[in-house]
Amino acid sequence: MFTVHVGEADPRFGNMLLEQFGGANGELAAAMQYSVQGINCENMACKDLLMDIGTEELSHLEIIGTLARMHLKPMKKSADAAEHDPLIAIAGGGGVALCNSMGTSWTADYLKITGDLDVDLHSNIAAEARAKIVYERLINFCDDPGTKEALQFLMTREITHMRAFMQALDSLGKGPLSIGIIPPTPDIVDQYYNDSTGQGDQGEVDTTGPWNTQEGISVVEAPALSDFQVLKATPKAGRTTLNNGKARVTPGKTKR
């Protein structure tokens, strides 16, 4: 799928690349997650999509593995290079292993496979976003043009996958909040609990956004803190006002 060119090997960077080989958001995890989801999938169109992308991720594993191997290779013979990843140098002879950049073994626990297509597609969209940002950080820590080019290719494909999973989710014709079959309880689903209140050390205060101002959303002040303020309030302190029978706290207390 892509021919990898490396100018000068950088064992330190090779160690970082292992994150995308055997790490939590790496290519093996992506390949296994989508392929196993595909095996379980009863929607034949989405099954084909999952198997297509799962197989592509295996080819990404080959690209990132080749790239990491080229950077790790000097470890076999150079003590200086070996210092950057003693495990790979001593136990692996400068070859890639299915571990992350800290030497932790790859595990199937990384995979999110629920057996519900809409839930799995949400997981996959998030997985692609994580893979994208890890590639971006690797690119930012890299000087070698050939390596950067390969990472740019891999990063780009993750956005292509992210879009495909979003389109697949959309094609199911369910609303974005429709997960599974049992609907959420009316009223409760539209309540926003203002549970962290007061002002924090860095000036954090209660804020508003679409999540607590949009029509149909009702804000519920934290009952525990409201009771506390009513208990402590004196008219001249003026720190508590009653709003529709509910205590409203003005900023000034420690953020909890």
Residues 50-89: x where in contact with Mn ion by CB under 5 A, - otherwise, as a string: -------x--x-----------------------------
Q: Which of residues 19-48 bind Mn ion (CB under 5 A)?
A: 27
Smallest distance, Mn ion to C-beta of residue 29, A: 10
* Residue 158 is a binding residue for Mn ion (CB under 5 A): yes
* Residue 144 is a binding residue for Mn ion (CB under 5 A): no
- Chosen residue from 161, 168, 197, 226 binding Mn ion by CB under 5 A: 161
CA distances to 192, 194, 214 from 208, in Å? 11, 10, 10
* Residue 132 is a binding residue for Mn ion (CB under 5 A): no
Stretch that binds Mn ion, among 5-13, 103-111, 158-166, 226-234 (CB under 5 A): 158-166
Stretch that binds Mn ion, among 49-57, 105-113, 133-141, 142-150 (CB under 5 A): 49-57
Q: Which is nearer to Mn ion, 61 or 225 (CB)?
A: 61
Smallest distance, Mn ion to C-beta of residue 130, A: 10
Q: Which is nearer to Mn ion, 155 or 222 (CB)?
A: 155
Q: Which is nearer to Mn ion, 84 or 132 (CB)?
A: 132
Q: Which is nearer to Mn ion, 131 or 247 (CB)?
A: 131
Rule CB under 5 A: which residues touch Mn ion? 27, 57, 60, 158, 161
